Structure formats: C-alpha cells, structure tokens
C-alpha cells in the first residue's frame, strides 16, 4: 500500500514537469464540478486566451513598419511551437514532422507539378 502511494507521488511529481500539466492546479480548483472539465480543455482555453493577448502584443509592438518580416516570422513560429507544446505536449512533434515532410515534398516536386486553383481544369 505504501509503495503504491510512493509510486503515485513520484509519477505526479515527474508528470507535473511536462508543459501540458502546468495548469493542473487550476483543474483541481475547477474539479468542484464533477467530470465536466478535463486538463486538455483547460489547456486549450488557456492557449486561446494567451493567443488573443499575444495577437494584441504582436500587432502593437511588431508592426510591419517597425520590424522586418523575418523577425515577425521567427516570433510567430516560436510562439506557435510553444503553444503547441503547451497544449498537446510532445504529441506536437507529430505536427512538426508532418509539416516538414509535406514542405520537403513540395520543394522537391516543384511548382510545375502542383495543381493550382486558378487553372481552367480545376473541378469543384
């Protein structure tokens, strides 16, 4: 019995260090409503609210007239990666791998081998 409690405590301590478990305390506060809120839902809402605040900051301090497009792209990419890691944990690695493979295929194949929306043979 005592061994199970120690294992649960160790798992809890190790699990809290992962990015997707940072808001677990808020979930405990919301657990007054039984089985209505999960940690993933809390993380998703937190990411949405943070993204709205980041959009205001991005629009205010990283205007296209003040900063280069390279800086804007780097900030947006890093912020997006952080939010993906926070919301989905290491499963976000799947996003990166799939996006990298798709981008690599598009670069290798070239624009002449891809269909275009404006072509006359486009069928809806």
Q: Containing domain of residue 84, as a range?
A: 2-112
Give the C-alpha separation, 114 to 124, whole Å.
16
**Within a domain: 122:** no
Q: Does 117 fall in a domain?
A: no
Q: How far is 6 from 12, CA to CA, in rounded Å?
A: 10
Q: How far, CA to CA in Å, does 73 sit from each of 14, 64, 78?
A: 34, 11, 9
Give pLDDT tens digits for 10-55.
Answer: 455 455 556 566 666 666 666 655 556 677 777 888 889 999 999 9
Residue at 97 is within a domain: yes
Q: Is residue 53 part of a domain?
A: yes
For the cut 60, the answer to whether the pLDDT of residue 119 exceeds it is: no
The verdict on residue 120 lying in a domain is no
Mean pLDDT of the chain: 76
Structural domain total, the chain? 1
Q: What is the pTM of this model?
A: 0.60
* CB atoms inside a 10 Å sphere around CB 37: 16
| Rounded mean pLDDT, 54-77 | 91
Q: Dihedrals φ, ψ of 110, to 5°? A: 85, 160
pLDDT (0 to 100) of residue 13? 47
Rg (Cα) of the chain, in Å, rounded?
21
Choose between 31 and 83: higher pLDDT.
83
pLDDT-above-70 percentage for the chain:
62
Tokens representing residue 82 in the block: 């952080």
Instruction: Flag whether 79 is in a domain.
Output: yes
Residue 83 lies in a domain: yes
* C-alpha distances in Å from residue 39, one per residue of 62, 89, 104, 105: 32, 12, 35, 36
């Amino acid at each position: 019995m005592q061994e199970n409690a120690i294992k649960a405590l160790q798992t809890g301590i190790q699990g809290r260090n992962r990015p997707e478990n940072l808001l677990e305390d808020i979930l405990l506060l919301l657990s007054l409503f039984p089985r209505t809120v999960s940690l993933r839902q809390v993380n998703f809402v937190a990411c949405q609210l943070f993204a709205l605040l980041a959009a205001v900051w991005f629009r205010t301090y990283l205007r296209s007239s003040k900063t280069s497009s390279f800086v804007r792209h780097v900030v947006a990419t890093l912020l997006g990666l952080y939010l993906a890691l926070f919301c989905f944990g290491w499963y976000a690695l799947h996003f990166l791998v799939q996006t990298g493979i798709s981008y690599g295929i598009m670069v290798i194949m070239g624009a002449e081998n891809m269909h275009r929306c404006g072509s006359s043979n486009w069928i809806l």
